[in-house]
Amino acid sequence: MYVAAKGGERAIENAHRLLAHERRGDPAVPEITAAQIDSQLTLAVDRVMNEGSLYDRELAALAIKQARGDLIEAIFLVRAFRATLPRLGATEPVETAAMTVRRRISATFKDLPGGQILGPTFDYTHRLLDTQLDTHAGQNGAAPEPVRAAPDATRMPRVTDLLAHDDLIEPSPQAAPEQPVGDLTHDPLSFPAERDVRLQNLARGDEGLLLALGYSTQRGFGRTHPFAGEIRLGEVEVEFTPPELAFAVPLGHLTLTECQMINQFKGSATEPPRFTRGYGLGFGHCERKAMSMALVDRALRARELGEEIKAPAQDEEFVLSHSDNVQATGFVEHLKLPHYVDFQAELGLVRRLRAEFAAAAPAQRLDEAAETSVQEAAE
Amino acid sequence: MNAPAHASTNAPAYNFAYLDEQTKRMIRRAILKAVAIPGYQVPFASREMPMPYGWGTGGVQVTAAVLGPNDVLKVIDQGADDTANAVSIRKFFVRTAGVRTTTSTPDATVIQTRHRIPEATLGEHQIIVFQVPIPEPLRFLEPRETETRRMHALEEYGLMHVKLYEDIARHGHIATAYAYPVKVEGRYVMDPSPTPKFDNPKMNDCAALQLFGAGREKRIYAIPPHTEVVSLDFEDHPFERYRFAGACALCGSTESYLDEVITDDRGSRMFVCSDTDYCESRRGAQPALPPASPADPSEPEGRRG
C-alpha cells in the first residue's frame, strides 16, 4: 500500500546529525581548529574572504571548518552572515602605492624603483610531494626562520604610474568623491554595467570561472595582448571618516593582492595608440584571482574602447550574470529538489505525443519525414 | 500541524521574520510597485538568505516582508505540506517569526508555494507567495535581459507566439506542460512559475493577492486580486487544461491534479492527489476508496480549462 513520504522534519534533523558526525571524522584524530585553518590554510581563508565579500579571517576559517572544506559552501556561509550586518559607511579609498609590500613583481621591466621582491610564492618550487612535511618531526619543528631584509622606506610607485608620465599608458581614472560607488549587494545588477560595479562583481566572482575566461582571452577569444605590468601583495591601511569628524581615522590594515595588466590599444581616430589596463584586486594573497580578474576586466572594456565584441569574456551580460558561485551552485543544485509536479505534466505531454505518433499511419509518417527532409535540405 | 507560536523559539539574534526592517521596507516598495503594474517584473535588491538560491529565497523574502505576528502560514512544495523543503521553510518562519502555521488551505492567511496552486479556491483574506526560479517568460527564447526588458517595454511578444505556433506545427499541440505563459490584464506576458498548466485558470480573477519572488534573479511581480489572467493560445488551438484521466487512489477525486507514484519495478503505478491538504480533508469527509485499478497510463485526457 502506498505510504506518503511523511516525516520530512525528522529526516532533516537526522540528516543534520549525520552531517555533523561526518564533519568530525575519525574521533581518534584530533579535531582541527579554526585557528589552525586561519594560520595554516591561509590561501583557502583568503579565497573565502574574497568571494564571501567579508574581510574576517576568523569567520572565514570557521566557515571552512563548518563546510568540511567545501569552499563554495564556506563562501555561502560568510555571505549569508554578511547580509545581516549593518553598514556604518564607506571607507576612504585605499592607497596601494603606499602598501607595505611583501611581494612585488613586474614582467615588463627588469628593474624599477623599489625593485622586484619575490616574497612567499609557489612560482619556483618544484612540485614534488614533500613526504617529510607530515611526519611527526616535521609537525613539531618550526619552519626555518625566513631571511628578512631591513625595512625599506623607499616608496614603491606602481608601474602603471611610471609609464603614465610618458602618456604611454592611459592614466588612472580620476577620483570622483562626489559620485557614489555602486554596490551590487544593495542594488540589483543592471546593464550596461559601469566599471565600479563590474569590478565588484568580479572581485566576488568565482575564481574558477574568471580563470577560465581569462585563459580564453589569451587563447584568442577576445585577445587583448596582456603583460603582467605589476603584481603586488602587502598590507594597506584602511581609513574611515566618521560623519561627526572632519578627518579620516585609521581602522586597521588589510592584506591585498593587486594586479595591473598592461594591454595593447591600437588607438582610434581621436586617440593616439597607447597601452590600456585591466585591473584586479582581492583580499589576502590571491594572485591567480587578481590576474584573471584583470584579464576579464580588460576584455569587458571592449564596449568602452570601441572594440568588436565577439568572445564570451567580452560579453558583460554573460560574464557578470554567471560569475557568482553562490548563485550558480544554488541554481544548479536546486535540481535535486522535487520536481514531481512538472515532471508529471511533461510525462503527460510526452505520452500524448507518443500516442498520437503511434496512431498515425506509418505511410503518413513516411510522407512527413520526406517533407521534413526536403525542408531541411531547402534551408 | 498548527504549531503554536512560542516567543522562546524565536532566534534571538534576528529581527521578526529574519530580515531587518530596512530590507523589508525595500521589498514592500517593490511589492507595491508590482501590484500597481500587474505582471511587470520589478527589480529588487535581493539579499543573501540563509538557504541556497533555488530553494525559494525569493519567496522567503516576500513572505518575510508581508508576514505579521497574527498571520497563519502554510508552506507547500509540489502541493504537499510534508516535502522536505516545505518543512524546512515552515520551520524557518516558526523559528524567526514565531507565527502560527497550518496545513489547512482555508485557515492560512499567507501561503508560500513551489510548483502548485492549492485545489481549494483562495479567498480575499489570503496572500499566495510563489517561489520563482526564472521570472522571465521570454528567457528561453532570448537569453539576454537587456533584450527581454526591451521586448516587454514595447509589448513585443511575437517571438512567444511564433514559439507556440511552431509547437503546433511540429507536435499538433502547444508543447508546454508547466510554466505555461499568461498575459496579465491584457498587458504583460508573465511566467506563472513552474506550476502545471492545470493550475493556470486558478490565477484568473483570483480573490487572493498573488505575489511572485525570484531571489537569485532579483525580481518581484504580482497579480492583484480579481485580475484578468489569460493563458496564451490561438483561436483554433485554445488553451487546454491537462490532467491525467483517473481518480486519486486515496480520496477518489477526479478533479485534482495527480502525482504518479511508481509502486514496483514492473511498471505498476498509482495516482494520488498532489495537494495533500485537499486529499486529507476529502478523506476526513468520506472513507478512502481502495486503490483504483491501474488506469492505462498511455491514455491522457485533455480538458478545456
DSSP string computed for A41-104: SHHHHHHHHHHHT---HHHHHHHHHHTTT-HHHHHHHHHHHHTTSPP---PPPP-GGG-EEEEE
Q: Which residues contact A358 (CB under 8 A, 6 or more apart)?
A: none
Residues of chain B with C-beta less than 8 angstroms from the C-beta of A330: 52-55, 57, 216
Label residue A115 by pLDDT band (50, 70, 90). Answer: confident
Query: d(Cα B28, Cα B93) in Å, to the nearest integer?
Result: 18
Whether residue B298 and residue A9 make contact (CB cut-off 8 A), yes or no, is no
Q: What is the CA radius of gyration of chain B?
A: 20
Label residue B302 by pLDDT band (50, 70, 90). Answer: very low
Nearest to A12 among B14, B44, B84 (CB): B84
Residues of chain B with C-beta less than 8 angstroms from the C-beta of A11: 84
Closest to A300 (Cα-Cα) out of A170, A180, A199, A168: A199
Label residue A141 by pLDDT band (50, 70, 90). Answer: low
Residue A268 has pLDDT above 80, yes or no: no
pLDDT of residue B162: 95
Residues of chain B with C-beta less than 8 angstroms from the C-beta of A351: 297-298, 300
Q: Order across the sheet with B182-184: list the strands.
A: B188-190, B182-184, B229-231
Query: d(Cα A47, Cα B202) in Å, to the nearest integer?
Result: 48
- DSSP SS3 for B236: coil
Whether residue A84 and residue B14 make contact (CB cut-off 8 A), yes or no, is yes
Q: Which residues of A264-296 are buried (b: 16+ CB within 10 A; e: fewer)?
A: ebeeeeeeeebbbbbbbbbbbbbbbbbbbbbbb
List the single residue in A with minimal CA-CA distance to B270: A2
Whether residue A344 and residue B274 make contact (CB cut-off 8 A), yes or no, is yes
Among A77, A352, A365, which would you mutate to test the B interface (most chain B Cβ atoms within 10 Å of its Cβ)? A352
Closest to B29 (Cα-Cα) out of B222, B228, B229, B203: B222
List the single residue in A with minimal CA-CA distance to B219: A188
List the single residue in A with minimal CA-CA distance to B299: A352
**The C-alpha cell of A152 is what?**
625599506
pLDDT digits (tens, 9 = 90+) for B234-292: 999 999 898 888 999 999 999 999 999 988 888 888 999 999 999 999 998 654 444 44
Among A187, A200, A337, which would you mutate to test the B interface (most chain B Cβ atoms within 10 Å of its Cβ)? A337
The one catalytic residue among B39, B58, B59, B246:
B39
Q: What is the CA radius of gyration of chain A?
A: 27
List the single residue in B with minimal CA-CA distance to A73: B52
Residues of chain B with C-beta less than 8 angstroms from the C-beta of A356: 172
Least confident of A310-319, B38-47, B160-169, B278-287: B278-287
For residues A169 and A274, the answer to whether their CB atoms sit within 8 Å is yes
Choice between A177 and B32, residue whose per-residue pLDDT is larger: B32
- DSSP SS3 for A241: coil
pLDDT of residue B181: 96
- DSSP SS3 for A220: coil
Catalytic, B206? Answer no
Q: Which residues contact B291 (CB under 8 A, 6 or more apart)?
A: A1, A2, B249, B270
Catalytic, B251? Answer yes
Q: Which residues contact A370 (CB under 8 A, 6 or more apart)?
A: none
Nearest to B55 among A7, A334, A356 (CB): A334
Residue B5 has pLDDT above 80, yes or no: no
Nearest to A330 among B47, B88, B216 (CB): B216
**The C-alpha cell of A278 is what?**
585591466
Whether residue B88 and residue A84 make contact (CB cut-off 8 A), yes or no, is no
Q: How far is CA B97 from the centre of its chain?
A: 22
Residues of chain B with C-beta less than 8 angstroms from the C-beta of A327: 53, 216
Question: What is the distance in angstroms between the Cα of B263 and the nearest Cα belonging to chain A?
Answer: 8
List the beta strands (DSSP E) in B78-181: 100-101, 110-114, 127-131
Nearest to B196 among A82, A341, A354 (CB): A341
Instruction: Output helix, strand, coil percentages for chain A, rounded to the nearest 5.
Output: 45, 10, 40
For residues A26 and A33, the answer to whether their CB atoms sit within 8 Å is no
The CB density around residue B188, as the number of other CB atoms within 10 Å, is: 18
Question: What is the distance in angstroms between the Cα of A85 and the nearest Cα belonging to chain B?
Answer: 10
Query: d(Cα A291, Cα A226) in Å, to the nearest integer?
Result: 10
Residues of chain B with C-beta less than 8 angstroms from the C-beta of A5: 82-83
For residues A282 and A259, the answer to whether their CB atoms sit within 8 Å is no
Query: d(Cα B301, Cα B106) in Å, to the nearest integer?
Result: 29
Residue B1 has pLDDT above 50, yes or no: no
Query: Cis peptide before A192, with omega less than 30 degrees from 0?
Result: yes
Question: What is the distance in angstroms between the Cα of A91 and the nearest Cα belonging to chain B?
Answer: 22
Using left for φ > 0, alpha for ψ between -120 and 50, and beta otherwise, residue A115 falls in: left
Only one residue has cell 507565527, namely B99
pLDDT of residue A368: 58
The one catalytic residue among B213, B215, B248, B252:
B248
Least confident of A83-97, B5-19, B164-178: B5-19
pLDDT of residue B298: 40
Question: What is the distance in angstroms between the Cα of A201 and the nearest Cα belonging to chain B?
Answer: 14
**The C-alpha cell of A257 is what?**
593582492
Using left for φ > 0, alpha for ψ between -120 and 50, and beta otherwise, residue A284 falls in: left
Q: Which amino acid is at B194?
A: P
| Region A196-202 average pLDDT | 97
Query: d(Cα A118, Cα A122) in Å, to the nearest integer?
Result: 10
Residues of chain A with C-beta less than 8 angstroms from the C-beta of B48: 76, 79-80, 82-83, 185, 326
Nearest to B171 among A337, A339, A353 (CB): A353
The CB density around residue A128, as the number of other CB atoms within 10 Å, is: 6
Using CA of residue B71, residue B77, residue B79, residue B82, what is the dihedral sign? negative
